[in-house]
Structure 1
């Protein structure tokens, strides 16, 4: 069966005092759109998958790089759907690489990934942030289509994160779900998990702001900590509640609305 092998790479640089597109590469089914940002906001890159979803054997790579002093926002056009894999199929793979240079700022804010019953996904996100760079990143995964009464009872989700600072690995984390949602790992009846990470040279003020916002969160379980200088926040619960809580948190934490594609 035909499988997709797509890639997108986008680079932003600071030129003449403004953040501008520096480089772009895209190969089907990966594409990048550049909507006009709101007045006073940085440029946006919107990642899309023209195939309409991902299934067993597909391989996608996405890369976002922000040059010294530049500022940008990267997101996705809609929720990414991971379809049921055919019998005997290998897992689909999604590799995300994020690089933030000195004095640069990136908000990596993709919309949720919906992992259908019977699907198999291996996703790896690697962020490299040099001293003086700032990164706010969010990933949300939904296990099964709860609105349709579907549970994630078979399949594989292997979702790995890592953050590198100059010359060292600062933080790494992997979620593995194979078969039933892991009640023993604290999921309970929840079918969605959002992870928000922040990388700054001085994380404490950001941590305190995030903690105050998450203490007021309702309808979800939420918490935040700092590990090796990396802020890590989690929101766990029913998919719609987690999405709404994540939107509220990110909007208040950033002090600006999320990209318009989040509200379509």
Structure 2
């Protein structure tokens, strides 16, 4: 058998995409100020009748594998209201060795509210992803961030024995001080590791929700009480951290299936959205 030299072997095509959305306040409503998209990144702004502008992020390549890159930049001007979601779940496919990368940079102007609500990320066996979320908040800005990770598709009977996933969050306030820092890292190298009680304990879906708000401790306490009441039968918890000048609410959940977790999350998301409409793509 003749083996082709390494420089003659076919090189697998990688996908690279970048999307930028800037919104402004105009005529009493939040409107597009600038939209740019390249590669496999697309941004759609459907017509809605609520208070907030809704943006839907799309990865036309259908997922991320080793060597792929995807970058989102969202900038919200002062006093705007924006809800950002994704058209579908993001899929992290088996990699031949390289690590896929996704970076999201979000700027929220003074008095603005931005709700980052992507649908679930599904990690396939052999998948590798490095993901970062960098948020900068203006004075009295509000930010709700949610990320959900699914270990394989339960309906297909998939298991994830080997995979790498690193999710890094950094949220900073108007003064540049750190409001929230989070690093979640899975480096799986054998079947059954996620079943360990110290890891997932038999669950296959995990979610983190962070609400950074200028509200005082009493208001945050009411939010936590409301969330706990909605999540009384869920695996996880809710807490609030901060002082009279503002702080955050943090919720972490785990569930045996994405459907169960979504059932639990929907009323909690609606709680934090208030009068704003839940994106239609999130409907069960």
Structure 1: segments with no counterpart, 5+ residues? none
Matched, 1:19 2:34: no
Describe the superposition over 1:105-163 as per-residue Cα deviations: whole angstroms up to 9, x where unpaired.
11111111001111001111111112211111111111122222212210101111111
Contact 2:220 2:240 in 1 (8 A): no
1:74 to 69, 79, 84: 84
- 1:1-264 → structure 2 map (5 Å cutoff): 1-37=12-48, 39-86=49-96, 89-165=97-173, 166-179=175-188, 180-181=193-194, 183-204=196-217, 205-217=219-231, 220-228=234-242, 229-238=247-256, 239-255=258-274, 256-263=276-283
**Residue 257 of structure 1: CA displacement?**
4.1
- Rounded to whole Å, the distance in 2 between the matches of 1:215 and 1:17 is 35
Worse-superposed segment, 160-169 or 105-114: 160-169
Describe the shift of the 1:191–1:41 C-alpha distance in structure 2 as closer, same or farther (beyond 3 A): same
Matched residues in 2 for 1:232 and 1:203: separation?
15
1:247 positional shift? 1.3
Asked if 2 retains the 8 angstrom alpha-carbon contact of 1:220 and 1:241, the reply is no
Greater shift after overlay, 105-114 or 145-154? 145-154
Bigger Rg over Cα:
2
> How far off is 1:185 after superposition?
3.1
Q: Gaps spanning 5+ residues in structure 2: where? A: 1-11
Aligned mates of 2:103, 2:196 — CA distance in 1? 27
TM-score, scaled relative to structure 2: 0.86
Give me the whole-angstrom Cα distance separating, in 1, the residues matched to 2:130 and 2:220: 30
Secondary structure of 1:57's aligned partner:
coil
Q: Return the TM-score normalized by structure 1.
A: 0.93
Stretch of structure 1 that moved more, 17-26 or 212-221: 212-221
TM-aligned CA deviation for residue 206 of structure 1: 3.4
Q: Secondary structure at the match of 2:207?
A: strand
Gap change, CA 1:42 and 1:257, over 3 Å in 2: closer
Please, what is the CA RMSD of the aligned residues?
A: 1.7
CA 1:227 to 1:6, structure 2 compared with 1: closer, same or farther past 3 Å?
same
Q: Distance in 2 between matches of 1:215 and 1:20?
A: 35
Runs of 4+ in 1 over 3 A off after TM superposition: none
188 and 24 in structure 1: CA distance in 2 versus 1, 3 angstrom threshold:
same
Which is further off, 208-217 or 57-66? 208-217
Indicate conservation of the 8 Å contact 1:6/1:59, yes or no.
yes
Further displaced range: 103-112 or 205-214: 205-214
The separation in 1 between residues aligned to 2:155 and 2:220, in whole angstroms, is: 34
Query: Alignment length, in residue pairs?
Result: 261
**What is the CA-CA distance between 1:170 and the residue it aligns to?**
2.0
